[in-house]
Amino acid sequence: MKKFLALLLALTMVFALVSCGAAQTTKTTAPAKTAEKPAEQTGAEETEGAKETLIMATNATFPPYEYFEGEKMVGIDVEIATAIAEKLGMELEIKNVEFDTIIAGIETGSFTIGMAGMTVTEERLETVNFSDTYAQGVQVVIVKDGSDITSPDDLAGKKIGVQQGTTGDIYATDDFGEENVSKFKNGPDAVQALVSGNVDAVIIDNEPAKSYVAANEGLTILETSYADEDYAIAIAKGNTALLEKINTALEELTADGTIPAIIAKYIPASN
């Protein structure tokens, strides 16, 4: 009986191998979950009718760039990406992920682009490329009304809240020391910590800061800002053909007024 079972097993394995071989022309040791591999676009655009997918990674806790209105993700980045994808004849797929996983995911090919009010930095440029700049960002300091922190210089020795992996995190850690920086998953969590007195200040981008302050009583943004920066689209180092297409699309969408209109819709000129 044992022998029979062993034979049966051996036969099953042979069949499994054969059918495996038929399905996979190149590798025999490919993992079983081939279907879940991130879509690599090689040749996909040649298939008739099939649109290449632009997989955009973002972190939708960042109004007015990306946030949820009910079930729907909206914002400047969402609309600009939609316009770019349309111009390039691509299908846009947006993935809402933790901010500090975006760059790594671009490197490994899980995401085609990162668009998340993302600041161009020298350090990030070592691992990814950035498109031309499409918006300006400013790192500001949020404190409680009446705080003794009245300018960024007063932050020394204070507890500073930031969104993990952002430039606010990186600069604050550099300037004030790891031990003084509390890292949160997203901006709203950092702001909540400020409201409940667990941190003394939050360093974060200006536009989201305005909405967080508007949504919470007793908070204020310091007049003196902390850093100025440029936002751009991150893309894998090797993907220079798409980078060029995206830059051309950005240029055209700026020239024809599309991008200025999107930005004006979310950031009224009065601000």
Which residues in this chain contact ligand ARG in the complex, by CB under 6 A?
58-59, 61-62, 66, 99, 116-119, 137, 163, 166-167, 205
Judged by beta carbon, residue 20 or residue 74, the one nearer ligand ARG is 74
Shortest reach from residue 124's CB to ligand ARG, in Å: 8
Residue 136's nearest CA partner among 225, 59, 228, 211 is 228
Judged by beta carbon, residue 163 or residue 182, the one nearer ligand ARG is 163
Q: Which residues contact 121 (CB under 8 A, 6 or more apart)?
A: 167, 170, 229
Judged by beta carbon, residue 84 or residue 114, the one nearer ligand ARG is 114
Shortest reach from residue 25's CB to ligand ARG, in Å: 40
Shortest reach from residue 66's CB to ligand ARG, in Å: 5
Shortest reach from residue 116's CB to ligand ARG, in Å: 4
Strand 72-74 vs strand 67-69: parallel, antiparallel, or unpaired? antiparallel
Judged by beta carbon, residue 52 or residue 65, the one nearer ligand ARG is 65
Shortest reach from residue 210's CB to ligand ARG, in Å: 14
Judged by beta carbon, residue 61 or residue 239, the one nearer ligand ARG is 61
Asked if 191 and 63 touch (Cβ cutoff 8 Å), the reply is no
Judged by beta carbon, residue 79 or residue 205, the one nearer ligand ARG is 205
CA distance 195 to 271: 24
Shortest reach from residue 176's CB to ligand ARG, in Å: 17
Shortest reach from residue 166's CB to ligand ARG, in Å: 3
Asked if 139 and 257 touch (Cβ cutoff 8 Å), the reply is no
Judged by beta carbon, residue 52 or residue 190, the one nearer ligand ARG is 190
